Amino acid sequence: MRDTDGAFIDVRDLRKTFRVRRRSGLLRRTSSDVHAVDGISFTLRRGEMTGFIGPNGAGKSTTIKMLTGILSPSGGRLRVAGVDPARDRTRLVRRIGVVFGQRTTLWWDLPLRDSYGLVRRMYRIPRARYEENLARCVELLELGGLLDVPVRQLSLGQRMRGDITAALLHDPDVLYLDEPTIGLDVVSKARVREFLLRLNAERRTTVLLTTHDLSDIEHLCERVVVIDHGRLMYDGALAGLHEIGSGERTLVVDLERELPPIEGIEGARTVRTEGPRQWLTFPATASAAPLVSRIAADYPLVDLSLREPAIEDVIARMYAA
């Protein structure tokens, strides 16, 4: 398969079942199946940056482990850059990079430079390409003064930038990022995000990003895949998540003076008043325009704003359903 456009990552009806044994009573053991991934399908095109989210235990790590060939699926079909991860892990590792926010892949006691030298040998990266990739990451991730510092002396943000560099020295086409901004301060977070955007724009690196920080997704991804209990809950544009999750939008209206709650506007309901300000909810699928003109015609309107529900609220509601 030529991995130009089309499905670069192809996940079809993917399943992983773990058999867990439990002791029940003194001598008896029973076993049960945990369907960690229970029939997930999605495809990613080359160069897409996609958020992969879900609550704890949803099956994200299990999916990523199958995508990287660490775990074999119990069922379904999987292709990453034309490679079946479980069958041809050696070929796959040359095409993918992995960054785990909570674990470093660097050698704790070695300076960054020595860790990178080991990565170069492991992946047999040609010297010129290695030097070029390293110089680029060092510049963009501002690692210049840190190359000779042992990893254990680096701050979390510095270590994370060091880990991202290590994952990119062999020019992977796909980058899996698991909580890459966890615990980082605002400045480090911004630097990492900016770098990822640039990497994606310049190299068309396909990125799958798992995070609990939804602002990472808002900054980086146009698309989001949401899973829960091993099943796909949503796959689409980030903007669409607001609509499907909530069903309602809010119009915040400022009147000239305090008045009784606005009523008699078809399709809208006043849910809160505070002095001259009133909040009206209406279906997310409806247009706000007729509502606004009715209010403007009947009430002394000074200002108004439209509020989409926060993504956090939408997702919390999806998980609660």
Ligand X SMILES: Nc1ncnc2c1ncn2[C@@H]1O[C@H](COP(=O)(O)OP(=O)(O)OP(=O)(O)O)[C@@H](O)[C@H]1O
Angle between helices 156-168 and 112-123 (to 10 degrees): 20
- Least distance from ligand X to the Cβ atom of residue 55, Å: 7
**Closer of 134 and 227 to ligand X (Cβ):** 227
- Least distance from ligand X to the Cβ atom of residue 212, Å: 7
Site for ligand X contains 56 (CB under 6 A): yes
Q: Which has the closest alpha carbon to 64: 18, 14, 106?
A: 14
Q: Which has the closest alpha carbon to 206: 1, 54, 6?
A: 6
Tokens in use for 114? 């020595």
Q: Does residue 92 sit in helix, strand or coil?
A: helix
CB 196 within 8 A of CB 219: no
Tokens in use for 256? 């000239």
Site for ligand X contains 54 (CB under 6 A): yes
- Least distance from ligand X to the Cβ atom of residue 245, Å: 19
- Least distance from ligand X to the Cβ atom of residue 235, Å: 16
- Least distance from ligand X to the Cβ atom of residue 225, Å: 12
Taking CB under 6 A as the binding criterion, the range among 2-10, 50-58, 283-291, 313-321 that sits at the site for ligand X is 50-58
Give the C-alpha separation, 187 to 192, whole Å: 9
Q: Using the rule CB under 6 A, which residue among 11, 36, 78, 314 binds ligand X?
A: 36
Taking CB under 6 A as the binding criterion, the range among 57-65, 85-93, 142-150, 264-272 that sits at the site for ligand X is 57-65
Tokens in use for 123? 């992946």
**Closer of 36 and 220 to ligand X (Cβ):** 36
Interface residues for ligand X in 58-97 (CB under 6 A)? 58-62
Site for ligand X contains 101 (CB under 6 A): no
Task: Using CB under 6 A, count the residues that bind ligand X.
Answer: 12
225 contacts: CB under 8 Å, gap ≥ 6: 42, 50, 51, 52, 53, 232, 234, 235
E strand or H helix at 289, and its extent? helix 289-298
Give the C-alpha separation, 156 to 31, whole Å: 40
* Pairing relationship of beta strands 75-80 and 223-228 according to DSSP bridges: unpaired
Q: Using the rule CB under 6 A, which residue among 34, 86, 197, 292 binds ligand X?
A: 34
70 contacts: CB under 8 Å, gap ≥ 6: none
Site for ligand X contains 51 (CB under 6 A): no
**Closer of 227 and 253 to ligand X (Cβ):** 227
- Least distance from ligand X to the Cβ atom of residue 178, Å: 8
Site for ligand X contains 15 (CB under 6 A): no
- Least distance from ligand X to the Cβ atom of residue 61, Å: 3
Taking CB under 6 A as the binding criterion, the range among 56-64, 165-173, 186-194, 213-221 that sits at the site for ligand X is 56-64
List strands edge to edge, sheet with 7-23: 29-45, 7-23, 75-80
Q: Using the rule CB under 6 A, which residue among 1, 6, 33, 57 binds ligand X?
A: 57
Q: Which chain residues interact with ligand X by CB under 6 A? A: 18, 20, 34, 36, 54, 56-62
